[in-house]
Structure 1
Amino acid sequence: MQVFKFGGASVKDAPGIINLAQIVQKNQDKQLLIVVSAMGKTTNALEKLTRAYVEQSDEVHTIFDEIKQYHYDILHQLFEPGDAVFDEVANTFVEIEWTIEDEPQDEFDFIYDQIVSIGEMVSTRIVNAYLNKVGIKSHWLDVRGYIHTDNTYREGKVDWPKTTQSIQHDVPALLQKGCVVTPGFLGGTSENFTTTLGREGSDYTASIFASCLKAESVTIWKDVPGVLNADPKLFKDTVKYDELSYAEAIEMTYYGASVIHPKTIKPLQNAKIPLLVKPFLHADEPGTIITETNYITFNTPVIIVKQNQVLLSISTKDYSFISEDHLSDIFGLFAKTHIKVNIMQTSALSFTVCFDDDTERFEKLTAGLKQNFSIKYNNKLQLITVRHYKPELVKELTAGKTVLLEQISRNTVQVVVK
């Protein structure tokens, strides 16, 4: 049995869904569980809708209508009018309509998960219906009843024993009957509320199912030839890695490589399940395989650029040294506001951290810090990480930029620049 995961770029339009079906058709000799992301840039659009709703902007219904129209345009290219899938999609969008009818009462993160999750719910309904239409027997599975999480909205923590039990109880029998299509990125709480697993979390969904089902492999279908040494949107002449170790892949995702979600690798490593990253437009190409392999010599450095970073310096109000007690309080606030530190540095009088900018979480963090500390910050920065670096490359990457913070270890250089 294998797990396939298709990202948003691979299902952004009708030709993409047709291509997905052709890939599945070629692999019908295998038991397949198929995890699908929201279509194209739908998650970004739903995030915009969430913010507009919380701020009670006049744009709410305009944004929502655009999202619906985008999906209905794809539906009309794939199905005849009157097909049951039109009602399935309309009924799914109703969940958003119910939410935005009333004024927002709940925390932002809760509202976010209830609205943004609809992207995956709709995309999988469409994919599942199309597979059945072209003769591929397929069953739609509501992932929210199988991946069980706590109530940490926007980053649900998986209850592994309960999740494993649910998946193993039902899914193997469904796979005997045909493909199973399920939304990525989502989980469910014990109160039946929807959670999300963190941005780009569909990879993690595939990893969870593979681990619980003891899959032969996981394949992530991307719009790139495999795992590259840098983002091809930012750099020319990128190099594809044919093979990576689990350890190297974990390091790359930890530092922000966007090709794989950071939590994806560990469950696969624990179960010794290989992960393949392959191009969905050239399905026969080998892509990259990530597995338990011996150390690989890196002739090509890995370059990871994270945009929209905040660099925050924290000091005591009485100019005393930053002590372990202070650090304990500071990290407690970071944990409470669910902000991940990308790089940190301590001096006698200050503690400096770099992290992704998130307006709501940043405001909560600074409000908490200001009670006992003085703070200064810069935003709209870049964090450049180079693994297996060469000094001349770092110099080239930082040329013409102001370096605000730099850290160098044996294998890795990290630089925060303006």
Structure 2
Amino acid sequence: MPHTSTLTVAKFGGTSVANYRAMQACADIVCADPAIKVVVVSACSGVTNHLVTLASGQLSPSQRQQTLEQIAVIQRPILDELGAPAALADYIEQQLVQMDRLSLQAQTSPSGAIKDSLLALGEACSSALFTEVLQQRQQAVQCFDVRQVLRTDSHYGQAEPDLVLIASLCQQHLQPVLATQRVVTQGFIGADSEGHTTTLGRGGSDYSAALLAEALAAEVLAIWTDVDGIYSCDPRLVPAARPIAELSFNEAAEMATFGAKVLHPATILPAVRSGCAVFVGKSSEPQRGGSWIRQQLQGAPGYRAVTLRRRQTLLTVHSLNMLHARGFLAELFAILAKHRISVDLITTSEVSVALTLDNTGSDGCGIELITPALRAELEAMCRLEVTENLSLVAVIGNQLATTAGVARKVFAEIDGYNVRMICHGASAHNLCFLVANSDADAVVQHLHKQLIEA
């Protein structure tokens, strides 16, 4: 990655800070690039999953202790490799004690605030450990509590950032520190107006880093992860998938939204607003390069990628009141907004509306999208049909909506499969449809072979 910027925000994911050796590889990257002033880290790999288990409040005393010990087994070897400096050792032990205390509270009086406070402790540990790694390399660096600047609302579990306040607080509290030293800070977490800890949702560390990059007017946001860039498809599903050297914000946004797991879907938005270039690379092998995401590209190909997003729900509402009536869709979306439901795809007929809802973020986080309250409110105005076990396939590219024959070519290739819903034309960069989970892998593999590899 070339040193072309005056300020780079670098984010390292959970696998990149999984252990002492991985942290040393990240430290190599930071020390080699003087432009990296802000380092954002996720919790060490596996820690957040254990914390989610603790936050469920459903564990027996022995299960609680076993889960706490599993977290300690991840943290303590890193501490030992660092020589267990007294102040750091005391801090890590305090966080483990805090995990124990909050997990007990989650059992007796569960709340979103307790859960977020518990989940944030993973990043508290990893940021303190990585700060010590850099300090032992004689780097001028401090561990900075991101809650000083990353202000959100109080919607625990999926907090919304206050962009104006974040920008102001970064200029007030973070920018002066960067004049003399680097900072290591936490991804995924923030604080509301009362100072209570909040989280941005699973995968929110990328988003945190992008928000800080925007607020600090950084030239580059570098996302260091366990893959060497953004691929044309998930290589675990399609071994022939290949990394994309350069792609536009529009392409990257579509890929992140519709299933490419390298980037959190919201990450691109702050970069688009600020014009900050985004780099995605592999922290254990930085020499392999990666993918650059930029505002505009010249000569981008028609077909760029095929993505897959599992765990989709198709919600179909039927009502004769829609026929030649005004306001039905407004009322429907008002109800969904009230219950904080985000809709991805939509198609309509005279008396029906079909919507897709994404469940991928709910696994393990206790989020139920179609709650009894939402179902009751919808059934008061229409007949409701809910279909599960579906996957969303997206063909990503350029000028797809204005190029003749695109839809015909795509669907000719999957003629033998049942397609439940199609969205095409709203964006020049995607063609999306739903298929049964059981067909999804084969559909993606065939489309990639015919559209990308051919």
Report if TM-score (shorter chain) is over 0.5: yes
Matched length: 410
Matched, 1:379 2:388: yes
Which region of structure 1 is more displaced relative to structure 2, 85-94 or 322-331?
A: 322-331
CA positional deviation for 1:128: 1.0
Q: After superposition, what is the alpha-carbon deviation per residue over 1:144-185, rounded to whole angstroms, capped at 9, x for unaligned?
A: 111111112222222222211211112223223322000011
Q: 1:403 to 1:299 in 2, by over 3 A?
A: closer
Q: In 1, are the aligned partners of 2:149 and 2:173 still within 8 Å (CA)?
A: no
Matched, 1:2 2:4: no
Tell me the residue number matched to 1:362: 370
Distance 1:190 1:399 in 2: 54
Distance 2:302 2:368 in 1: 41
**AA of the residue aligned to 2:312:** Q
Secondary structure class of the residue paired with 2:289: coil
Distance 1:90 1:277 in 2: 34
Matched, 1:50 2:58: no
Matched, 1:20 2:26: yes
Distance 1:173 1:70 in 2: 34
Distance 1:263 1:81 in 2: 37
Secondary structure class of the residue paired with 1:275: strand
Distance 1:129 1:4 in 2: 17
Distance 1:195 1:134 in 2: 32
CA positional deviation for 1:312: 1.7
**AA of the residue aligned to 2:292:** I
CA positional deviation for 1:321: 3.0
Secondary structure class of the residue paired with 1:199: coil
**AA of the residue aligned to 1:133:** Q
Tell me the residue number matched to 1:406: 422
Secondary structure class of the residue paired with 2:388: strand
CA positional deviation for 1:31: 5.0
CA positional deviation for 1:189: 0.6
Secondary structure class of the residue paired with 1:46: helix
Tell me the residue number matched to 1:96: 99
Distance 1:144 1:345 in 2: 41
Tell me the residue number matched to 2:142: 139
CA positional deviation for 1:141: 0.6
Secondary structure class of the residue paired with 2:151: coil
Tell me the residue number matched to 1:166: 169
Q: Counterparts of 1:30-41 in structure 2 under 5 Å?
A: 30-41=35-46
Q: 1:379 to 1:86 in 2, by over 3 A?
A: farther
Tell me the residue number matched to 1:264: 267
Q: In 1, are the aligned partners of 2:26 and 2:284 still within 8 Å (CA)?
A: no
CA positional deviation for 1:254: 2.9
Q: After superposition, what is the alpha-carbon deviation per residue over 1:83-135, rounded to whole angstroms, capped at 9, x for unaligned?
A: 4322212222333322222345354x444322222221221111112211232
Secondary structure class of the residue paired with 1:284: helix
Distance 1:221 1:167 in 2: 23
**AA of the residue aligned to 1:64:** L
**TM-score normalised according to structure 1 size:** 0.89
Which region of structure 1 is more displaced relative to structure 2, 295-304 or 211-220?
A: 295-304
Distance 1:30 1:411 in 2: 33
Tell me the residue number matched to 2:70: 66
Secondary structure class of the residue paired with 2:55: helix
**AA of the residue aligned to 1:385:** A
Secondary structure class of the residue paired with 1:362: coil
CA positional deviation for 1:4: 0.6
Q: 1:314 to 1:64 in 2, by over 3 A?
A: farther
Tell me the residue number matched to 1:283: 286
CA positional deviation for 1:295: 4.3
Tell me the residue number matched to 1:348: 350
**AA of the residue aligned to 1:365:** L
Q: In 2, are the aligned partners of 1:245 and 1:295 still within 8 Å (CA)?
A: no
Q: After superposition, what is the alpha-carbon deviation per residue over 1:174-215, rounded to whole angstroms, capped at 9, x for unaligned?
A: 223322000011110111111112321112211222222222
Q: 1:118 to 1:336 in 2, by over 3 A?
A: farther
Distance 2:49 2:268 in 1: 25
Q: After superposition, what is the alpha-carbon deviation per residue over 1:10-64, rounded to whole angstroms, capped at 9, x for unaligned?
A: 112221111111111212x33510001122133333223323x1x4666444333
Distance 1:69 1:131 in 2: 22
CA positional deviation for 1:260: 1.6
Q: Counterparts of 1:181-200 in structure 2 under 5 Å?
A: 181-200=184-203
Q: 1:199 to 1:333 in 2, by over 3 A?
A: farther
Secondary structure class of the residue paired with 1:360: coil
Tell me the residue number matched to 1:215: 218
Q: In 2, are the aligned partners of 1:157 and 1:197 still within 8 Å (CA)?
A: yes
**AA of the residue aligned to 1:16:** A
Q: In 1, are the aligned partners of 2:247 and 2:297 still within 8 Å (CA)?
A: no
Distance 1:395 1:46 in 2: 46
Tell me the residue number matched to 2:440: none
Distance 1:33 1:360 in 2: 35
Tell me the residue number matched to 2:439: none
**AA of the residue aligned to 2:368:** E
Q: Gaps spanning 5+ residues in structure 1: where?
A: none
Distance 2:142 2:232 in 1: 37
Tell me the residue number matched to 2:337: 335
CA positional deviation for 1:140: 0.4
CA RMSD of aligned residues (A): 2.5
Q: After superposition, what is the alpha-carbon deviation per residue over 1:272-309, rounded to whole angstroms, capped at 9, x for unaligned?
A: 22111122122234312112224442254311111111
Which region of structure 1 is more displaced relative to structure 2, 351-360 or 224-233?
A: 351-360
Q: 1:189 to 1:231 in 2, by over 3 A?
A: same
Secondary structure class of the residue paired with 2:335: helix
Q: 1:147 to 1:373 in 2, by over 3 A?
A: same
CA positional deviation for 1:143: 0.5
Tell me the residue number matched to 1:248: 251
Distance 1:160 1:98 in 2: 33
Q: After superposition, what is the alpha-carbon deviation per residue over 1:308-351, rounded to whole angstroms, capped at 9, x for unaligned?
A: 111122224xx443655332232223222322212122223322
Q: 1:311 to 1:163 in 2, by over 3 A?
A: same
**AA of the residue aligned to 1:41:** G
Matched, 1:304 2:313: no
**AA of the residue aligned to 2:390:** L
Distance 1:96 1:394 in 2: 51
**AA of the residue aligned to 2:420:** L
Q: Gaps spanning 5+ residues in structure 2: where?
A: 1-6, 401-405, 437-454
Distance 2:308 2:180 in 1: 44
Which of 230, 233, 247 is matched with 2:233 structurally?
230
Q: In 1, are the aligned partners of 2:103 and 2:118 still within 8 Å (CA)?
A: no
**AA of the residue aligned to 2:432:** Q
